[in-house]
A and B are shown apart, each in its own frame.
Chain A
Amino acid sequence: MAALSEEQRMIKDQASAWVREQAPVSTFRAMRDQDVAQGFFSETWQAMIEMGWTGLVVPETYGGAGLGYQTLGLVLEQLGRNLVASPLYASSVVGAAALMHSGSEDQKQALLPKIADGGRLVVLALEEGPRHNPSQIMCRAELTSSGVTLSGTKQFVMEGSAATDFVVAAKVDHGAGETGVGLFLVACDTPGVRRHAVKTMDSRGYASVTFNDVALDLEAMLAGPDTGQAVLEAVLDVATAALAAEMLGTAAAAFDMTLDYLKTRKQFGQVIGGFQALGHRAAGLYSEMELTRSCVEAALAALDNDAQDAQELVALAKCKASEFLHEMSSQLIQIHGGIGMTDEFDAGFYLKRARVLENALGNAAYHRDRYAKLLNF
């Protein structure tokens, strides 16, 4: 990144110090070992609220700091390094983006300050099948004279266990057949909403959520069928670029651990990093890391600047971050050898987190295809 501003440098340093001192990987391990139902420690979340990260990208009018996605990326990257588990990404980034891109002024006023102060956890409920496919939404929202009836099931809802509210993407039915996609705000305690925790290998708080003829007021419709698709795409662009920043941090930490091991582990009377096969592998991984960083920073900057080619850059960033994290997390285990296979060592956490995030919001193949489509071939 070109020179950071004074404020960005401060935020980055703060995040880096906090993650190092207050949120080491052992905290994540303790959370996993204690099988914390919500998928994160409340103390962790409280600390983030106090540091103001929950309102980082929320506009100042709604109680946030109104900072850009490049600044947010600095924090997410640090969190990714130590696998910090929290609803920051799901609610304060994706949930906030949904409200910032849709909803009436009253809805923004009501909810964004709550997201910014961590009082409400608003998360996107989108996926319905095993693979990211936002163009195949089956959830239905029937518009009636008195309101909306929502039905369907959403899977792998990130932080769905702790969420207080869902932003649900559903096909809108006017009575005269389905039209486009709309976004609907649903409080988790609305009658007809049922959720159950989904145990994923990364020990985070995912949930499956069923909406069984859930009756909502018309005001629950954040975006109708005329704007829903565009809003969803804009929200997914933010979500995808921000996720790539977190993944870059996770991969960079895995790289650092691996490099450190290459310099200390001795076999055949020498440190193993002196073997050319491993030196070249490290050089290759380093190169991919630098290329990935360029893509992630460019995508975040494109969102901040409303750049024409933002979609291309977001697809590029997620594709590269997925590819690099995939390879890096595998090499983290391979180069550590036997110890990398033990649960006592942290490498497994990185591998598990890697595969989950690679799949989230479209894997490398999905975004390669998307990139080709954006370039008309």
Chain B
Amino acid sequence: MTEQAINLDTFRAEVAGWLQENFPENLKGQGIAPFGGVEGDRVVEGDAALWRDRLASRGWGTPTWPADLGGGGLNHEEAKVLSEEMHHVGAINPIPLLAGMGVTMVGPTIMEYGTEDQKKRHIPGICSGKVRWCLGYSEPNAGSDLASLATKAEENGDHWLINGQKVWTSGADISQWCGALVRTDSGVKKRDGISFLMLKMDQPGVETRPIKLIAGASPFCETFFNDARAEKDDLLGALNDGWSVGKRLLQYERASQTGARPTSNKVSGSLQSLAKSYVGETATGELADADLRVRIADHLMHTRAHGLTIARITAEAKGNPEVSAAASILKNSATRVSQERAELTLEFMGHQGLGWEGDDFSEDEIEHVRGWLGGKAISIYGGSFEIQNNIIAKNILGLPETTQKG
């Protein structure tokens, strides 16, 4: 065995021992529910809080982040071992969920653009799982054309004063901090007058209103800034360089979105066997609806092609510092997988796929309706389907830009 393998085995034993002592038995297999679920609408207490704090004390909620900032200081192999051992005992890492946008997006961006002081003030909070972050990006009049955002920040002595409105701020009503793109210069090209500010959500100048969506309750909010305050030393990156900072942050977002996820994890079993249970089958075992059968086959083949492409990109990435150009297609491809699956499921369920609530429908059926509706957002957020195609055309294929005038 190589020295590295021996070290990994030692580490695995250490993790297993630590988990045995520290992971509360009654959280086993409970998933994210004790941590407030996706909506985060529950106070984390009891064993859930205990587990969060114990994990954070080792920095293992953010295992590969630097130890001096509250991370685990592990390399990728060690982090993999940690994750495997946690999976083994039925434990999850709740910290990425509890930190809102902190672990997936804000943290990596602060570590890339932030000053030493900013890293010391903000990263440990994210690692602790006690400070939740939201993002103030979109505005009512700045969606796909994000650069036309109008929320304004003006210098006011030792701080910034922020006025304007953000929308789709996920988790704004339960977050402690917000990373916001604000206009700091109106006299230049749109993209050149934007800055990235970090501000506290618990202050008189910030008001949030939850948004009800077509699928029902949602984590999204409208957020209003009326003379909200951000400290001078909470400007991330250079003044008026917020577009680069914000764009980089979105790359971290896309990196976390490329895996195709089923829109509903409640409907289990293979799609084809579920379809058979609603539609029936012929004497030779084929799905009774020939047209639907072809479209399900087409969908499953695309799903397979998507999975094989992720595997190929991963293989090509080994020992190659440049990201494979093929990676640019994954967001739209994953969107197609998710939305197509949801539409096909809705279709073959027939009447039973149309329920909203009540005992006439199974839990799975109702859950699927909500998932199908919610999934319509996948082709809108994180760079819409059309924006992704702009990116491929311009950045990968080298075609001239015509639609995103700065």
Would you call B301 and A371 a contact (CB within 8 A)? yes
Q: Given that A2-B318, A371-B297 are known contacts, is A287 also in contact with B390, CB under 8 Å in the complex?
A: no
Would you call A320 and B305 a contact (CB within 8 A)? yes
Contact with A along B256-300 (1 / 0, CB 8 A): 000000000000001011011000010001110000011011101
Inter-chain CA distance A282–B389, complex, in Å, is 9
Q: Say which residue of A286, A319, A375, A377 sits within 8 Å of B329 (CB atoms).
A: A286
Would you call A376 and B397 a contact (CB within 8 A)? no
Would you call B305 and A292 a contact (CB within 8 A)? yes
Q: How many A residues face the partner with a CB closer than 8 A?
A: 41
Chain A residues with Cβ under 8 A from B403's Cβ?
Answer: 276
Inter-chain CA distance A371–B309, complex, in Å, is 19
Q: Say which residue of B270, B273, B390 sits within 8 Å of A279 (CB atoms).
A: B390
The number of residue pairs between A and B whose CB atoms lie closer than 8 Å in the complex comes to 133
Inter-chain CA distance A371–B287, complex, in Å, is 13
Q: Say yes or no: is B400 at the interface (Cβ < 8 Å to chain A).
A: yes
Chain A residues with Cβ under 8 A from B386's Cβ?
Answer: 280
Chain A residues with Cβ under 8 A from B305's Cβ?
Answer: 291-292, 294-295, 316, 320
Would you call A280 and B318 a contact (CB within 8 A)? no
Q: Chain B contact residues (Cβ within 8 angstroms of A): what range?
A: 35 or more
Chain A residues with Cβ under 8 A from B312's Cβ?
Answer: 1-2, 293-294, 297-298
Inter-chain CA distance A192–B385, complex, in Å, is 61
Q: Given that A263-B398, A294-B309 are known contacts, is A376 also in contact with B285, CB under 8 Å in the complex?
A: yes
Inter-chain CA distance A278–B403, complex, in Å, is 12
Contact with B along A299-341 (1 / 0, CB 8 A): 0000000000000100010011000000000000000000000
Would you call A372 and B286 a contact (CB within 8 A)? yes
Inter-chain CA distance A274–B405, complex, in Å, is 12
Would you call B399 and A319 a contact (CB within 8 A)? no
Q: Say yes or no: is A368 at the interface (Cβ < 8 Å to chain B).
A: yes
Inter-chain CA distance A209–B333, complex, in Å, is 45
Would you call B329 and A368 a contact (CB within 8 A)? no
Q: Say which residue of B285, B301, B318 sits within 8 Å of A377 (CB atoms).
A: B285
Q: Say which residue of A1, A282, A376 sits within 8 Å of B315 (CB atoms).
A: A1
- A291 CB to closest chain B CB (Å) equals 4
Q: Say yes or no: is B302 at the interface (Cβ < 8 Å to chain A).
A: yes
- A321 CB to closest chain B CB (Å) equals 11
Q: Say which residue of A270, A319, A372 sits within 8 Å of B293 (CB atoms).
A: A372
Q: Say which residue of B281, B294, B392 sits within 8 Å of A283 (CB atoms).
A: B392
Q: Given that A371-B297, A377-B296 are known contacts, is A273 also in contact with B333, CB under 8 Å in the complex?
A: no
Inter-chain CA distance A368–B295, complex, in Å, is 9
- A138 CB to closest chain B CB (Å) equals 23
Q: Say which residue of A271, A283, A298 sits within 8 Å of B397 (CB atoms).
A: A283
Q: Say which residue of B297, B309, B320, B332 sits within 8 Å of A372 (CB atoms).
A: B297
For window 121-179 of A, CB contacts with B under 8 Å fall at none
Q: Say which residue of A271, A293, A295 sits within 8 Å of B400 (CB atoms).
A: A271
Q: Say which residue of B275, B302, B318 sits within 8 Å of A291 (CB atoms).
A: B302
Q: In the complex, which of the residues B305, B309, B394, B396 has the most CB atoms of chain A within 10 Å of its own CB atom?
A: B305
27 A–B contacts from the bound complex (CB under 8 Å) = A1-B315, A1-B316, A259-B399, A270-B402, A273-B393, A276-B390, A276-B403, A278-B399, A283-B390, A283-B397, A284-B389, A286-B392, A290-B309, A291-B306, A291-B329, A293-B326, A294-B308, A294-B309, A294-B311, A298-B308, A316-B304, A368-B298, A371-B301, A372-B294, A372-B296, A372-B297, A377-B276
Which residues does B use to contact A, with CB under 8 Å?
270, 272-273, 275-276, 281, 285-287, 293-294, 296-298, 300-302, 304-306, 308-309, 311-312, 315-316, 318-320, 326, 329, 332-333, 386, 388-390, 392-394, 396-403
| Beyond A291-B309, A293-B326, 7 additional pairs, beta carbon < 8 A | A273-B399, A290-B329, A293-B312, A295-B305, A298-B308, A372-B286, A375-B272
